[in-house]
Amino acid sequence: MPGKNIILFGPPGAGKGTQAARLVELLGVPHISTGDMFRYHKKNNTELGKKAQVFMDKGALVPDEITIAMVKERLSRADVKQGFLLDGFPRSTPQAEALDTILKELGIKLDHVINIAVSDVEIMKRLKGRAEIEGRSDDADPAVIQNRINTYKNQSEPCLDYYRPRTVVRDIDGMGSIEEIFERIKIVLE
């Protein structure tokens, strides 16, 4: 299957984690998430991990320069030669621009930006359901959910406009069963 360098986009509750697990299995590429990178660098006590920990201990966002350095380090590893699924990065247009620079330096072409689109009403419903099933407190409060949606729309969603002129954005209807959504993604990748 051609074109295995992929960014996965979508609002909180869109089902990115579920679809990412299926895509990684289908494509045989590593799932690269910023959360996993932070945990790796913290656990291995790397210089980047130490720098990130200072901000994480304060409950602050890790600055772009540290996150970008982690992404560059991760995309430089041998296991991404056959492709990658990037999840949780970029989250802003400056991060998307930095990713372009990294990919260019590494000689990697971005093939797809998969955007799982879900309405705000559905997001609210899904996250409330997830809070009940998984006990995730961050998904239980409607005000917190709305703040997460607003943050996504104001910071992350503009990345889609950044990528659209390159015709790499694949808009996927995120309504329906997990299998139906996965089938829609598979069709755009073929």
Instruction: Render the burial of 80-89: b for 16+ CB within 10 Å, e for the rest.
Output: beebbbbbbb
What predicted TM-score, i.e. pTM, was given to this entire model? 0.88
- Please name which of 22, 17, 47 lies closest in space to residue 34, comparing C-alpha atoms: 17
Nearest in space to 18 (alpha carbons), one of 189, 188, 174, 190 = 174
Q: Is position 130 annotated as part of the catalytic site?
A: yes
- Residue range(s) defining the domain that contains residue 76: 5-189
Active site residue 186: no
How many folded domains does the chain comprise? 1
Mean pLDDT value across residues 144-154: 87
Residue 93 amino acid letter: T
Q: What pLDDT is attached to residue 45?
A: 92
CATH value at residue 53:
3.40.50.300
pLDDT for 62: 85
Tell me the per-residue pLDDT of 104-146, one tens digit each, with 9 for 90 and over: 999 999 999 999 999 999 998 888 888 888 776 666 788 888 8
Q: Catalytic residue among 4, 74, 91, 184, which?
A: 91
Is residue 16 part of the annotated active site? The answer reads: yes
167 backbone dihedrals φ, ψ, rounded to 5°: 55, 40
